[in-house]
Structure 1
């Protein structure tokens, strides 16, 4: 199973140019959409992928293993007799792909649906049985290396074990919470062990019901999309099929914008629940919808009847609720108090604020420093000239300069990438024209992407913060600033290690006629990128100048931990001139590393990271409550050792920029978000060290003229 942390980091680097290979047209008249999709995708990969892999028996075996694992990762549906039926296709999938044959998918999908229905029938009867929480059983949660069961009898035993593990976990959580509350107050109602056990069983039942409900919401096309993605991911970890709705979500994640009412929704049994109102959106401005409201019906302005969305799958409900800017939608909502109300909203462009760059002023020793957090290198895929990360960071720098900051730190931690053009443009804010990154295509052609604007926006001290989840475009910026000796890179031993470029190809452009509907898009790896110094960041990432551990330090998390990453290599160095604005850079780095190596908190962070690794590697758990309780208490005792990390406070003062303070007058939610952000920064030892490095750099930066402080933003 691909490591979960890596999957959480949506590492991407997108070039905005379209695929330039010769186009073939596909006919859809009388065709099966699934078969056309397979043919279309394999054609596009064959024509455009950077390092296309041979589709052979080994390829087939990997698709076989990964598709079955993706359907049944905990091995609680399929049995050995199912695998025996599937095995006939183990080395045939490559041939099926070439022949547009989806027999393997059909067999596995239909059998999976059958097994889902069967397990849905018996899990409730298992939960009605008596669970002995004092047995000496154990459970192994290394499901990847677990064998499939032989028969239905063994399958029920596996389910009972897994359900029992869930019950014990829920029981312990309730038991522990009750004890903690009882220590604080004499008025807490003490429930009996049987009452706690019943609650634990009910919680487990609710969780399993939610699991089956989510499975029922998925259509055959969703499962087929999963199969297609299993196929295309064999070429490299970042080539992926985007079904139409996935493409919409991808566009939103890249741009930080959507058109709708500005509310985050969640499926709650058969209902659609509002879980967040997005600041600045129509719902926020209208002040009528509230978190916790259930949306029961949706009526469009040009329709007479409202559509009842109770029981509808969430994706379909969202499609009805969102819509083009300027259009009206009427929602029938059920309030928390049980009353019903019709609310009409005018849809608008909603900006997801947490996507965008934000900055703050840090004060230390009567000096000011700027801090910019950049969650991703966002841009609008349909119109690059709209809001993007480069132009926003430029604006933030100008505001910080006007406030008189003496150095700037840019936080790229957990930044999974984004636009290639944007990162090239952003690098130009700090260097006086020159190459930023080199890209090589599948034919070996190398293009040097340059900052062509003479001059800089910021020529003062610069620090860049990274971690193991800083990927792709983040690595380009960090690598360029490191090669130019323009910034000190502070963070994990190395960044994520993704050195590839993707294009998003609209699959509909290859259709001669289309009676099958939207075919979606393919995110396709078309290039590799290289530092101006010639080395690839692929697998190796960017090594920090000042290395500090964090909670991910000992976890398999980067590109190198996938099964099929592209290899590391090097090309010729580009023609560039190292920045000479700093003096004594080597000793500044050494002083910072010494501070970090001797810091008590850093030693504790490293110890915690090692402990997290041992916890993640633990697979055997007792199904005896007393033994489980002892294990959890030991874990809690060990975890308490790291409580001081949460209590830590640095000596810095954080202040929002004047323009933002003015916005707080009308946006209480934004004010709360900024206060929470500042509170988190107050506990951040890495930010504290970044400021110390900026202080040192300030003393050794040549020709840097401090801007006059101004309140104009």
Structure 2
């Protein structure tokens, strides 16, 4: 029997060693791709080791409630050695991370199991403290046990507090409500714990993938590792038609599932109940209820999009605390014929408006046209309506095809250079617009915000440099790099891929928007402005630089643009809605960036904390949904018998009516027309 046990152990050790060897091989291939193809390769040294170590360890235990100090010290010996392991091809260090992490998870699960089996008080003398920085690791298991106990009680009280805004009613029924909440918290806790111990890709692979991803991120935030499943998921996201509830979901930093967007014309949209930002609390489908707090994003996405789950009941919570449920039946969601769309706006003069959600490209044999061609068609339609000016809306446009952005920029300048591309060998290539003339030569405004990135920034920079348009809104993201996805081997069954940054693009002045973004000519306050995803907030973002050379080009006269910008600034400073947004942003910044006060673990304190921001969220919703008096005219007849197109048109019109940036864009175009001696 001993010989059999020894043989089993030997086989296990041998299999583990082989897995580590395979992981080391992937690690080495990732390193080779990044070193040979990345626009700014970095040396494999101690700095990389420290970054990868810190990123992985913080990802495993962000709040320092899982590992004890002795666990951390066991891992700490590897902090400066990962580069050496990679160079030597020795990845046995993975064993320490795998065993230490698994042991910590099992230990905390056992502590929680014991605590859930005891009677927990609902009002205690304990206090939970909050900090922007992680607390030190606990040295004693008893301290961890005490914290887990406080956290469980806090979670129970928060769950009860979120049931209603009526504190007295909840307090009167606290004992029975807390029992149900305890059962729910227990189920969610062990569901999460089991998911961590048995991830879909396997426990060891989960650790390997964390290291691969951190390694790529060291080079820049946009380089990343894809395993086969992640690559497949990325490809499947390109499918244009599927069964859907008509919502997109994401996971926030609290691991909550949030409605990212509601698709016009879809089942969710037609309820008139579900809003962007609502939190999904639970889903029920095929007679099974899913606890969202422990269901992974892949499973939730499957429930939302797969035709296996045709009828789904959602329970959601709005930001003001309101909880509601909806029953949805999936339908096949079809793409709009044109992602780009246009309207004629304005009460005084006709102003063309074109929304560009992304710089999508044409695909062979699909009949799909590229973004630039679609914009050209919309401009042609708008000119037939006699527009006196044009607004290009790039808000929330995260980029896409640079070829489309280049083509589109050429439509609005006479001719000349539009940008400069530089590769890892410092070879530069000037991109030219050789087509003389403009598709449209009237006054223009380009709208941007902190979510406008990459190709959007390229296009905006060209029009700003040529004085072709006023750039209006808030500073853009600051991403001026281009990526490609490369396999790690040439095998047909390749399982591993790297998305790597291979080029940087510059403005024709030689300057770059990388890190700094495009600064608008007229800056407008945007809700949640300071927490928009800036490139400058990423620790490994490539810094801003400039080229020594610039290109010769002919600018358009600036005089009217400067005068219109000055008039706009005066109008914005006097606008009560913009003033309200600034005031709300101050409160939002305090909420997200301020240090939260210590919270007593009692029902009264927890209820007050949960509902402390209800009024703020209601004010945010009110200002975000307030409609302007803009007149909107369709450029294309709406198919009145097609529910999808009717809903889509309704959604687009509402988006325009509630957008202060668009209203100000129309006002600026009106000023530009008057300043040029146009229509009075």
TM tier relative to shorter chain:
0.7 to 0.9
Tell me which of 626, 640, 645 is aligned to 1:648: 626
CA distance 1:655–1:576, shift in 2 (3 Å): same
Cα distance change, pair 390–520 in 1 and its aligned pair in 2 (3 A): farther
| Equivalent of residue 51 in structure 1, options 25, 37, 40 | 40
Query: Which fold has the larger relative contact order, with Cα–Cα distance below 8 Å and residues 6 or more apart in sequence?
Result: 1
User: 1:279 and 1:678 mapped to 2: Cα distance?
Assistant: 11
Match of 2:597 among 603, 620, 624: 620
Report the counterpart of residue 145 of structure 1 in structure 2: 134
Is 1:560 the counterpart of 2:508? The answer is: no
Q: 1:427, 1:436 within 8 Å by CA — same for their partners in 2?
A: yes
For 1:312 and 1:614, the matched residues in 2 are separated by: 31
Distance in 1 between the 2:27 and 2:424 partners?
22
- Corresponding position of 1:287: none
Alpha-carbon offset, residue 482 of structure 1: 0.6
Tell me the TM-score normalized by structure 1.
0.76
SS of equivalent residue, structure 2 residue 352: strand
1:97 has 2:86 as partner:
yes
Structure 2 Cα separation of the partners of residues 126 and 455 of structure 1: 75
Match of 1:302 in 2: none
- Assess if the C-alpha contact under 8 Å between 1:37 and 1:519 holds in 2: no
Q: Does the 8 Å contact 2:27/2:212 carry over to 1?
A: yes
Q: Which residue of 1 aligns with 2:51?
A: 62
Shift of 1:69: 0.9
Q: Distance in 2 between matches of 1:380 and 1:153?
A: 61
Which 10-residue stretch deviates more, 132-141 or 535-544?
132-141
2:455 is aligned with 1:473? yes
Counterpart position of 1:227: 211
Structure 2: tracts of 5 or more residues without a match: 1-17, 250-259, 270-281, 289-293, 314-328
Return the match for 1:135 from 101, 113, 124.
Answer: 124
Matched with 1:244 is: 228
**Cα displacement (A) at 1:331:** 5.3
Quick check: 1:371 aligned with 2:353? yes
Paired residues in the alignment total 616
Partner of 1:588: 564
Change (3 A) 1:374 1:629: same
- Cα offset, 1:37, TM superposition: 1.6
Q: Alpha-carbon deviations, 1:187-212, whole Å to 9, x = none?
A: xx996122333344344345435534
For the pair 1:415 / 2:397, whether they are aligned, the reply is yes
Partner of 1:165: 154
- Cα–Cα, structure 1 residues 276 and 444, in superposed 2: closer, same or farther, change >3 Å? closer
**Structure 1: tracts of 5 or more residues without a match:** 1-28, 183-188, 268-274, 285-290, 298-310, 323-328, 337-342, 706-713
The residue matched to 1:620 in structure 2 has which SS? coil
Q: Deviations over 1:468-519 (max 9, x none)?
A: 2222111111111111111111111x2211222222223333x5xx6xx323
**Distance of 2:338 and 2:145 partners within structure 1:** 45
Distance 1:99 1:382 in 2: 45
- Measured in 2, the distance between the counterparts of 1:247 and 1:680 equals 33
1:135-534 to structure 2, matched below 5 A, reads: 135-142=124-131, 144-176=133-165, 192-212=173-193, 214-215=195-196, 216-220=198-202, 221-251=205-235, 256-258=238-240, 294=285, 356-365=339-348, 367-379=349-361, 386-492=368-474, 494-509=475-490, 511=491, 517-534=493-510
C-alpha spacing 1:353/1:126, structure 2 compared with 1 (3 Å) = farther
1:438-467 alpha-carbon deviations (Å, 9 max, x no partner): 111222221111223333322222211111
C-alpha displacement at 1:260, in angstroms?
5.4
What's the CA shift for 1:35? 2.7
| Separation of aligned partners in 2, 1:650 and 1:317 | 37
**How far, CA to CA, are the matches of 1:357 and 1:432 in structure 2?**
23
> Structure 1 CA distance, aligned partners of 2:309 and 2:575?
57
Instruction: Please name the residue that 1:17 is paired with.
Output: none
1:683 lines up with 2:658 in the alignment = yes
Seen in structure 2, the aligned counterparts of structure 1 residues 330 and 699 have a Cα distance that, compared at 3 Å, is closer
Q: Can you list the C-alpha shifts for 1:673-705, whole angstroms capped at 9, x where unaligned? A: 432342243222211111101112233458x99
RMSD: 4.2
Q: Contact conserved, 1:431 with 1:456, CA < 8 A, in 2?
A: yes
How far does the alpha carbon of each residue in 1:44-99 deviate from its partner, in whole angstroms, 9 at most, with x for none?
11111111111111211111010111122233322222212112211110011223
